[in-house]
Every structure is written in C-alpha cells, then in structure tokens.
Amino acid sequence: MGTCVMIPLKGISIFLIVTAAGLAHTGAAAGDCAALVKNFERAVAKKSIDGVRRAAGDIAEDIVCGEAAEQFGAKYVAFLITLAEDPSTSLTEQKKALAAAEERTIISGTWKTAATIGDAYLRLGERASAFDWYERSLSFLKSRPGTPATLADKRALLLKASAAKSFENEDLPTQNQWLRSTRGLDGRIEGMYLSGLIREVEVLSVPLPVRFFTNESRLTPDGDAAVKELSDAANEQALKILKLVGHADPRGTAEHNLELSRRRVEAVRDRLKQLGVEAQIEVSWEGSQQPFDTSVLPYKPSQQEIWALDRRVEWVRGGAAD
C-alpha cells in the first residue's frame, strides 16, 4: 500500500505517493525530500544559479522527490528568468541566467517554459530571440505533448510570435536578414505555420506578420516575404481551402478602414495566386472592428506598434479550411 507524503513549498503542497515495497525507510526518504526542497529554496533566496541548478538536479534524482521533477524544473527556469530581468542583476549574470534557462528547456522543457523564455526576451527588447523561442514553444506542442495546451494558449503563442517577428523584420534593412519561420528536417515550414497545430474541431486565426505601408494595400518587402511563407505552407500542407481575413488600424473612418482591409486581403490573395497556391482562397474583411489583441504580450507596446499590428491579414485555420 502506498504512503502519501505532503511537502509544503511556499503555500503549495506537493503530494507524492511512495510505495512501501519500493522504500523500506519511507519516513527517512520523505525527510530527505523535504531537505532537498529546503536546499532549493535557500539557493533561490541566495540568487545562486549554480546552487538552484544543483538543487533541482538533486530533486530530480531522488526516488521520492523525483516525481515532482517537472514542477521544480519549471520553478528553476522561472527563477532564472526572474533573475535575468532583475535590474540589479549584472549583464554577466543576466546572460548566464538566460543561457541556463535555454539549456534546461532544450533538454527537458515544455512549451510553457519555452514561451516563458520568449516572454523574457521580448520584454528585454531582443525580438529575434523572442521569436525563436516562441517558435520552439509551438514546435514543443507537437513534439512534447505531455503538457497540454488550450486553444487560448495556442492563440496567445501565435500572437506573440507574430508580434516579435513583425517588429524585428520592420527594423532589418535587407531580405537576407529577415526572420523566417523554422523548417523541419524534411524542409517543410513549421513554427507559426506548423501542420497539426490544432485539432479538426478547433478553429484558430493565425495573425500573419504581413505588413503594409500605412494607408495602402501595398505590401512592404517583409510583408511580401511573409506571404511567400504562407504560400509555402499552403502548398506543402496541400490545403484545399485557404481562408483569409483583412484588418486595418482604427485611424480614419469606418468606411475607409473597411475598404482598406478589403483591398489588403485581396492583395494577399492575388499575390498567393501569383506564387502558385492551388488552394481555393476565400477572403473577408473586418476593417478596424477586430484590433490585434495586445493583452497577451508580456509588455505594453507603444501606440505606433499597436497600429502596426492592427494592419494585418489573418489565416483562419481549422474545420474545412484545413
């Protein structure tokens, strides 16, 4: 019969089931586990990266505490992110903390820990690194499905990835430097365009980083690059139907914005056809009625950034569209 061991950790009680057959000295093991947790807490209080790493490793290797290894792994990454963003942390320690968080997440992290690293980089203004980690997080949804994600989780990830990519590409002068979504070992485009991201019964709008010149339906150079990525995804996934929705920022009259969003989504449709997309392309437009949801971003963007995100085209995925 199993023994239930409760370990308090800053208001959170972790219950571990210990089998009598597996542990002859359950009481001693539980005591050891509690001591390991205290070591972890002491290292966090001292802001010791190496100390927290060792303590998390000891917990993972312990026969009792090991059942909570994933939880403490997430706490370890959270500690590293908090340390990296602390204004009192030196640049050297900041880089060390982020490198340690990345190392841990690459080895055994979840989509949540990868997204947390993306958030940290976006708050620090390192948008290319943020985009990289948001795309890793999206890939983990498929390759490491142990940690479930809701449709709202996926939507937030896509919004963050789109914002990071859009902001970074706006500031890069040449096409050779623009951020592009990752590709798998088979060469197929992944990241924001990942096949199998949503279930058949789900519907999700993917905010594409398709940028337009202000008050125009003319694609910016990086906007055209984004359309090319969409064309690759549509053809690689052999989509039968591709649903697109055009949007505009709120400046100007409602009638003007509605017409502008129509011209923009039609410009994307026409460009996709030029690029050889075989799917049936269905378009609709909303004007400025559905602004980009900036509430999911880990920082408060400027008004200019918000307007730039509002000027977009979305790919509606799911159901018959995919």
pLDDT of 34-89, one tens digit each? 899 999 999 999 999 999 999 988 988 887 777 788 888 889 999 999 999 998 99
pTM, whole model, 2 decimals?
Answer: 0.81
Rg, the chain, Cα only: 23
Which tokens go with 63?
A: 């026969």
End-to-end CA distance of the chain: 49
pLDDT of the residue at 172: 57
Q: Which range is most confident: 10-24, 54-68, 259-273?
A: 259-273
Buried b (16+ CB within 10 A) or exposed e, 230-256: bbbbbbbbebeebbbbbbbbeeeeeee
